[in-house]
Amino acid sequence: MQLVRCDLHVCAELLGIQLSNAISAGDVAEASRLASSLAQCKISLDVKVLSEIESLGKVRLRVIVEDTKDIIGPIYILANRSATVEMLKNQVFKDYGIHPKVQRWIFSQQLVSDGHTLEKLVPDASKEVFLYLIPASKASLTQEELHRDQLALLEDSTGEKSILSHASPKQSDRRCGEESNRLEDNQQCNSAAAAPQQVGWPCPVCTLVNLPLRPGCEACGAAPPAGYKVPVDYQPSESEMRLQEQESANLQLCNKVMEEERCKNYELIMQVERLDLVSNRTPFDCPICMLRHDVGDGVTLRECLHTFCRECLKGTILNCEEAEVSCPFGDYPCTAILQEREIRSLVSAEEYQQFLSRGLALAENRTTNSYHCRTTDCPGWCIYEDAVNEFRCPRCNHCNCLTCKALHEGMDCKQYQEDLRFRAVSDHAALQTHDFLKTMVQQGEAMHCPQCRVILQKKEGCDWLRCSMCKTEICWVTKGPRWGPAVRIFNVPYVGRWCGLWFVCSFSMGGQTLSLKNPVVTLNWPCWRYG
């Protein structure tokens, strides 16, 4: 550090300035510590209390001083707000003996030039500023120039009087001699700072000091110490420049090799993607048949990369009862499924069509509102909606009545049911159909239309249905018209336009009863939904 600590009077003056700053800041603990240190110096003091008017136009800087090795601070400097950075450097040179050439001031994380004023740089006096000291060799500061500037400062200085003044003229004369000693000490300190230092990082294994930019120890190859940083103003040597060029060339070569490897891997992936089946590339034991198989005799599944022989996978597909074939690996549950192209490549065309038909049959059975064509041996089926009453099968081209759930092309529902009654006398099949419809009405699975008496069945959905013949809207619960003057609830007239169930039905889950209320009658009976 270029701060002078050896001179007793200079140290006392520094302590006095810090004590003044601590007292003005109201820091009792710091002021007590500085006063105790100042008392040990046994220096005569002349304390002057500054008035408020004298302190106007001043700024108190909280300065952190650091160089390449040490950090000291904070120290407090009182300066004029209108002062420039150049004037601040001269003030620090006068108070602490630090030459302006080695000073680098940093305000708000920015390096400032000599022309900036403190009024613009320090809007908030509570913030810290940094004084970085560069080596004298980097600043082109010679011993002669330092000594000359120090003498000129003593001869021409007309700045503010130090708050530390001596009591007697003899002491004042003695101070001049001490100032000369301080200049000599400053010269020695700057000479030490100007002396070349060994730059680099010491090896933690063999203690060899290596160049800062060397990635490993030159002797043993060990890595640099953790946290080591190259100095900011360090200039690489020729050997380091060559080493960096070699590392750059090696990095480019490595990137080129990696890019070629990526291209090869991409081409290999695209080749595998174009294949329907991925064959095994190494011999393996099938986990199903426990036999040894050579290269190409097995199949590796795309989803989970499990490998099986072709015959075992084919048997798994043919015996699967689900629409999706799961991986047959048994050591642990595997959630992967065989892809469609894998299944198509493992089985024959006929077996593949059987697999698809089995999947369609499962889909039909698991769909709630599905309807299968009534034509004998016809595989056609559909998914219907409430508003649809007819289904023309795309396989046999016959028209199915969804209301009667029968085939009666050329006749409507009423004509078909009347024809059934006539044929039931002599036709055994027609008699069975007639008895079946009658049983459905008795069991509540079908009903007569209250308008045209056609037998109707309710599909999925709500309790609303409409007769396919007379288009009457019917309530499935009351078995009567849904609205109009003919609305009745168990043959009791209901006062109102609608049947009333859609807004007065209330289901009691405890007693499982359905209550219907209107101005004429209140009825309670077991709810048809809950039995």
The catalytic site residues sit at 462
Copy the structure tokens of residue 140: 């082109």
Neighbours of 212 (CB within 10 A): 17
CB proximity list for 126: less than 8 A, separation 6 or greater:
62
Copy the structure tokens of residue 472: 């009457």
Cα–chain-centroid distance for residue 137?
51
Decide: 310 and 297 in contact? Cβ < 8 Å: yes
Decide: 373 and 395 in contact? Cβ < 8 Å: yes
Q: Determine which helix (DSSP H) or strand (DSSP E) holds 392, and give its type and residue range.
A: strand 390-392
- In angstroms, the CA 275 to CA 339 distance is 12
Q: Where are the alpha helices (DSSP H) in 443-516?
A: 501-504
Q: Rounding to the nearest 10 degrees, give the CA dihedral for residues 24, 26, 32, 38.
A: -10
Q: Rounding to the nearest 10 degrees, give the CA dihedral for residues 156, 160, 162, 166.
A: 70
- In angstroms, the CA 526 to CA 531 distance is 7
Chain position carrying tokens 């100042």 = 38
Question: β-strands 522-526, 464-466: how paired?
Answer: unpaired
First CA to last CA distance, the chain:
98
Question: β-strands 390-392, 381-383: how paired?
Answer: unpaired
Go through 279-311 and write b for each residue having 16 or more CB atoms within 10 A of its CB, e for each that does not. Answer: ebeeebebeeeeeebeeebbbbbbeeebbbbbb
Alpha-carbon Rg for the chain, nearest whole angstrom, is 51
Q: Determine which helix (DSSP H) or strand (DSSP E) holds 133, and give its type and residue range.
A: strand 128-133
> CA triplet 393, 398, 399: central angle to 5 degrees?
85
Copy the structure tokens of residue 74: 């904070």
Decide: 401 and 407 in contact? Cβ < 8 Å: yes
Q: Map residue 271 onto helix, strand or coil.
A: helix
- In angstroms, the CA 151 to CA 391 distance is 115
Q: Map residue 76 onto helix, strand or coil.
A: strand
Handedness of CA 429, 433, 435, 439 (dihedral sign): positive
CB proximity list for 415: less than 8 A, separation 6 or greater:
408
> CA triplet 489, 494, 495: central angle to 5 degrees?
170
Decide: 474 and 480 in contact? Cβ < 8 Å: yes
